[in-house]
Amino acid sequence: MGRGAAFFDLDKTVIAKSSALAFGRPFYRDGLITRRDVVKSAYAQLMFRLGGTDEQTMARTRDYLAALCKGWQVDQVRQIVAETLHELINPYVYAEAAALIEEHQAAGRDVVLVSASGEEMVRPIGELLGVTDVIATRMAVEDGRYSGEVEFYAAGPSKVDAVGELATERGYDLADSYAYSDSYSDRPLLECVGHPTAVNPDRALRKLAVENAWPVLEFRHPVPLGRRLRERPAVPVAAAALGVGVGVAIGIAWYGRHRRTRAAAPTA
């Protein structure tokens, strides 16, 4: 029998918001996306949230977001993210999640972040949490630009395939392993381990957890990641090509509403 590991989804499980949520403004400002892209991205986000467990829906979302990022210069994206990380993302790490990660590590278990966001974003966030192993979406790059192809899309059953490969490589006993997620789309991930837990679950996942007597945790105390940045050594920051596409519309919508509100406010 091998040792167990702990697999954590990222958005709304470890951090209190989408890891790509706030990148809309600088990407729009620097001309990487258009207003038309905003509408399409909003639709893709909605479809993923409403029907993300359907393989055809996930495939359409993957293909659209890959096409959206096609041709972007990797260095430009990295620079934008590096310059705006503290101002716009500043992910809030749930104190409960950070403590749980530390408990698993203290028990001798490897902790793995498993996220549909781009590896370029997930890995630096993981390093800030003291987590070196990640399973995330990988985009193909040609001549310094995103090619529009997805090498690996870390969603749905694909997450389980990657977890299984890692378990075989590392000798993990999945029956003695743990998994945490907020989304019903991660049902395959939760079902592949012996100790699944729903964290801040959506309605469908909460129902599934109740039916299977899975633990349900509510994380409510985010800790600014900036505090951890000051406490840990600096790590390189890059972009989540695919993950940014999923969250980009929400960030732009918020920014536009914020500007309209300010413009409408009466002056003294």
Question: Domains in the chain, please, with CATH?
Answer: 5-229 (3.40.50.1000)
List, in order, residues 6 or more apart from 46 with CB less than 8 Å away: none
> Nearest-CA neighbor of 219 among 49, 51, 10?
10
Output helix, strand, coil percentages for the chain, rounded to the nearest 5: 55, 20, 25
Write out pLDDT tens, residues 99-139. 999 999 999 999 999 998 888 778 878 877 889 999 998 89
For residues 198 and 8, the answer to whether their CB atoms sit within 8 Å is no
Element (H, E) at 110: strand 110-118
Give the pLDDT of residue 103.
Answer: 97
Give the pLDDT of residue 43.
Answer: 65
- State yes or no: is 9 an active-site residue: yes
Give the pLDDT of residue 229.
Answer: 43
pLDDT in tens, the chain (268 residues): 579 999 999 988 998 877 765 567 788 888 888 878 766 666 665 655 555 556 677 777 778 778 888 999 988 887 877 776 666 545 568 989 999 999 999 999 999 999 988 887 788 788 778 899 999 988 999 999 999 999 999 988 899 999 999 999 999 999 999 999 999 989 999 999 999 999 999 999 999 999 999 999 999 988 765 554 445 433 333 333 333 433 443 343 334 444 444 445 544 4
Write out pLDDT tens, residues 164-180. 999 999 999 999 999 99
Distance, in Å, from the CA atom of 54 to the CA atom of 48, rounded to the nearest integer, reads 9
> Nearest-CA neighbor of 202 among 8, 11, 5, 6?
11
H helix intervals, 107-141:
119-128
Q: Which of 9, 37, 110, 186 is catalytic?
A: 9
Element (H, E) at 141: strand 133-142
Residue 255 burial (10 A CB sphere; 0-12, 13-18, 19+): middle
> Nearest-CA neighbor of 223 among 129, 104, 120?
129
Pairing of strands 195-199, 178-181: parallel
- State yes or no: is 54 an active-site residue: no
The pTM for the full model equals: 0.77
Which residues does residue 115 pair with via DSSP β-bridges, in sequence order?
136
